[in-house]
Structure 1
Amino acid sequence: MPKILRFNKMSIVEHSASRSMREGGVSLPYPMLTSTNYSTWAIKMEANMEAQGIWDAIESAADDVVEKKKDKMALACLFGAVPDEVLQQIANKKTAKEAWESLKTRFLGVDRVKKARVQTLKSEFKALCMKKTETIDEFAGKISGLANAMSGLGATMTDDELVKKLLDSVPEKFLHIIAAIEQFCDLDTMPFEEAIGRLKAFEERIRKHSDNDGEQLLLTTRNTDDGAGRARGKRFDKSKVMCYHCQELGHFAFECPAKKKNKEIALLATASSDDEPTLL
């Protein structure tokens, strides 16, 4: 071990990254820092370094003298638990405490952004309400999308929170099924998928019932209009009526223009015949 302390910082990193921290025969693997896991990474690193007896090098007061060996080992642990691009940031730090504070300053800012984003998503989740034109599937997809987004940021939504949000946000036409669910089911243990399934079944029943009512209403309206039209002497559509006299569409034989014209010609012919003896 004393030989390792005489290596430069990069040699320490290579040696440390190739092994796990050990205390009493228990393997303590390094957690790797990423752009999104600083909070959990810091907790694991603190636990591992305390197990190694080197955490004092990180949380020591400014005027405390840190044992050089502990400081070197703590610095090696930090170098082995960060990716290469982050290593360049802390490679020139002289102590483990300086390296730790540098990482904290960099990633705690990201962590604050993440927390602000979570608060924004929670506000959106709270304001989310199902539109009358939406289906249960569409609205449940919105709830799941926000829940997944928050989960990716470390804020997990439980099934009972999702179920209660779903039941509280649907239109009034679902009140009957919601009342039944609340009366006969345990909302604290009901899976979110089950709540969706129950509401979808009720939604399908409503849709089918609405379709039947619409067809019946349309039929009734047509019958009423036809009867009222006949009662009022509603004009008949003769565009498809064929005249038996001239074989043309659009009128009956008794009102055929050609028949009337022929009748007028016959009358004129008869009148002319009657006038001839008088002229003689």
Structure 2
Amino acid sequence: MAGSSSSDDDLRTPQFNGSNYDFWAVKMETILIAYDLWDVVEVGLAGQQTSREEISEEEGESESEHIPVERPVVLKEEKIKNAKALSLIQGAITDELFPRIRNEKTTKGAWEILRREFRGDKKVRAVKLQAIRANFEYLRMNDESLDDYLARFFEIVNNLKSLGEDVTEKRIVQKLLMSLSRRYKSIVSIIEETRDLDTIRVEEVLASVKVYDKREDLHEEREKYTGTERAFSSLKVGGNGNGTGSVKGSQYKTNPKWGQYKKGKNWSQNSRNNGSGSGWNNKFTAHNKQSSGSQGNVKPLCQVCDKYHFGICRYKGKPKCGRCSRFGHLSKDCDNGKQVANCAKKEDAIT
């Protein structure tokens, strides 16, 4: 017997916590079949059932006629198989669920208790099946990766199958192609036009969709890399001949008026437009004209005559006419334009 030649360490069973009965039952059935123990779950203790049937059918005969010669040996082997299968089931459930089968001595009885409680009767299974059918019909791919959606898709398909729903491969293929997002519109169209949807297998559809998904990812990465490379190549830093850097293609461009401001040509114009500081700008413009770019020989502004010159002003201490703004006479002595002309001649003679 295959089960007798294996040690207890090899009998590794999945853990049942009360919420995954369908998957757990499938895995446990496979393990029990592999170790030749599934018959005690389906049939029970065949020796005891045979003995009861023989006793009920042949009540008039003696007890020695019902029990064959090899009866004790067969019963012992059945008990050993029952104990092994029951130990596997007991070890595969959590301590919270163990009290439900604690008093059960047969594997068949323990299996039926768990099946009735956690799988449910026909009405409960019908309600569950309706809910899963609705999830399957309205299933669509959202903003998620292909692997995540396929895991969610086949989880619902497996739930339908575990509840007894006959989900054909044709139905799975049609639903899968219909529920994919617009990203896979091209590959879906190719599959529908070039392949027969009645005979194509699910594995072939998955292979084509996954290959297409990988190619799209490569194209997107390439486009991102190309866009980043173009952005960096547009930032070209270099000299412009004046020792200052310029950024080509950027939004920060040199204002052509800055150079004029530096030379003092447009200060007065901008000040007039702003409506303030016009007198100071005029003086500053006159000073720049007199200095003519010679920063080492800048003339100071005279507080007496409001002109730029070195040394003591020649008009210092002289009266200033409030009428013609000339020095050397007062307003009462100003003879309209004659006095102005005389003062101008004196200034020309002095200069």
* Pairwise TM-score range, normalised by the shorter structure: 0.3 to 0.5
The structure with more radius of gyration: 2
Larger helix proportion of the pair:
1
